[in-house]
Amino acid sequence: MRITRNTQAEAGAEFLAIVRAKDVQLRQLILTNWMFGYKWGNRGMLFCALANFLRGQRNLEILSLLNADFGVTDVLRLLGTVVKGSGEHLVSLDLRGAFREWQAPHDNPRYLRLLSRFHALSLLKLDYPALSNHALNALANGALMLKSLYISVRDSDSRQHMIADAAWHNLVLACPDLTVSYIIEYMDLL
């Protein structure tokens, strides 16, 4: 049995191509629960269309990849594309659930470089496994406008680690108006 392409996925990729060809500039792009792209072999087509679309965006201020469930390489490719085009404009970034649960980017050198290049970032939402001492230091070195950091913690997180007080202290010194909020998700099986 041959698996055919999903018509909905093709339509989504075509839509992104048309919008890109017309050089439409977005200020917000919110992708929520975009996991349908992993079905029927359409992930590559959709991801490529999204990356090409983001490559042309120069005024993006808000980006949400909420529950995208991409691999580390894919998310970093998208973030790299956004940094090049809209890095100086992006004020809000939501990476909660963007990375596959078992793939934490916390100390990935490219991830750390990208975090430090979002200079206008004032709101960052991410999962606890995406945090590390190095990630906080990268934010302290580059995201000096950061005012709100939302951290999602799940009982299923595979990486339970401590973050040093010194890393938090450096971030607070660099971003004195910073508010950190934790969202704790506990999945009770009863």
pLDDT score of 11: 83
This prediction's pTM: 0.89
Of 59, 43, 53, residue with least CA distance to 14: 53
| Residue 170, H or E segment | helix 165-174
Digit-coded pLDDT (tens) for 82-136: 999 999 999 999 999 898 877 888 789 999 999 999 999 999 999 998 999 999 9
pLDDT score of 10: 80
Q: Which residues pair with 185 in a beta bridge?
A: 154
Digit-coded pLDDT (tens) for 138-158: 999 999 999 999 999 877 666
The C-alpha atoms of residue 97 and residue 65 are separated, in whole angstroms, by 7
Topology, domain 3-185: 3.80.10
Digit-coded pLDDT (tens) for 54-96: 999 999 999 999 988 888 999 999 999 999 999 999 999 999 9
Domain locations along the chain: 3-185
- Reduced to 3 states (helix: H, G, I; strand: E, B; else coil), residue 99 is strand
Cα atoms in the Cβ-side hemisphere of radius 13 Å centred on 164: 8
